[in-house]
Structure 1
């Protein structure tokens, strides 16, 4: 049923008969035998209460009071020509079963759901047992399933054993399936209906709409179909880790990907870490190793690597196994043997390589454009970079040529220390001379 305010929650707990008796319509003396009625064009929904909150019967009748249905526990409001109803016989779990009938009393959708709502724009949602969880689907007016939330991907949420089904006294169609956070008014629900203002905002969204409820995120589309239940621990609408037509989402300590256009889950929650995609591939971590998937979630490079960088324009990524670095291409083929102490990403066709605490630079063919001679070095993030050897600093170009630009920062630090020590020594020497002159003058007197 629609998400209710806290006042309703208190009503759910009231054992007293809360249904107001309605005055019978003029000339409808037969309505006096019922405690409540609602008129819908040429039919009535009437209710007789024998024992408040315990024994009651609901019927559809014509204008003359002729019953068009057998006795039901409850019949809800008509919308789109159908009304929700709950038969007398309870389900195997001891709760009411929910279905739909038309104004002639004909059962259009069999009562088999744990919870549902009135139809809006030709569809409604239904909740039902799905293994250890409750599932949620959308159906049309014939009962055909339009969309089913893949609830099995959220296997720690919406468990049947943790749920509580509550409904209003004498009104079984006004129920909710609740997962209590803290009683009496802090809970999660699987179904969501929104205020008119929020619904307008959702329908105006370009693609999907993210929303937060009590610290968890859900995703709904422009057709008001919930695509991801309120179970996510993190989302990435700003695309810090997303791209290539997939948005990263987090459930518990695992990551997966949804479509930012439809909200459908593309990649299940299989990965403990991810990186922003590059050149159509996503580095994802599983069982402590990095591998690559494409934008459909298909595994393209096996989970082999302890470290990995993004693929650059050179069709190369730096990878490492057991502390040894090299490069692979997008097919997973090793293009630089994994034998170096460090290898950077490629940029401007050059990668920085380290062997035994010395650095050099390699091109995509494996040819070194410089010897492995530098004590300090940086990758080629620009057409030139800075290197250091023998305490001298050089600007290095892409062809490996050096241009002296100054002394090492370490050498400058040494010069500063020497200068300070020299200053102290000279200052002390000058002080000693001044002190000797003063003593000499005193002795002369």
Structure 2
């Protein structure tokens, strides 16, 4: 065995840490657990080349042996080996065999999957016992949200519940997920809002087209290739002056004019001027933005937590954001400090106490759920 200890990694990465614009947090912790670790490089093994060992034995690490790993959903992680997908649990045990050519993450007890290799093959919902929901396939399936899932048959859309029962007829030409109580629908010449009981709130207008999702009491609409915002009663908040408008998150929505991005508030006022080349929605009080090919982080006032200097920064999830520098990824906290150094080739967002990572194309996971505040 060849041991590459975290202390040695620190020495190897010292030039990076000194040159980095972000400080390294001394004695990094998260929810009471120490995040100090070492990477062990294993020799003379076929499939397993690396392993992570944390000083804090409450932190559990899965084997770095998979071709791909998703984030954790419903306590399972979607994994890929030898070209097929299956699922593992947080004890690193295979709980569903690697037999799917295409499968989504579990959400509310079900995962969408494709029955064959071809993209046109039928799709269904599988539960954690491996049973097909309702013994029914569809042309397309969408994940469960708030107890309902969208399905498509013959280019028509509707919703089923977790018993596989059709609760909103499969008759719509377009339908979004029902979020904050309502979804957007289109049916023949009609459009409007639809709730989980199938009740429709019609929007009558021969020039405006509803688009996107219903979020935080707002709807995006389109007119002559420009977009604006309405409230739930179809009253105009912002005229259609924008090339693109996203969905409200934490009271702000991203918009695009020309090639630049900024943010509006719920009164339709520009609160952050369009000066960015790309941006993400606000999450946990911050948004990731880019100028050119460099990413930074701003607060709702448009002030920088981190100026655009990095090749990638994710949104914050549970207090941590993924940052990439010099081709490697790690986690920072909201004080803009490295709490997990950038040593990973790939790194998914921290979610539900777990994160998944890759070193030299092999994936593993870290479970911090036993940590206590």
Rg comparison, structure with higher value: 1
Shorter-chain TM-score range: 0.3 to 0.5
Structure ranking higher in helix proportion = 1
Structure ranking higher in strand proportion = 2
Larger RCO, structure (CA 8 Å, separation 6 or more): 2
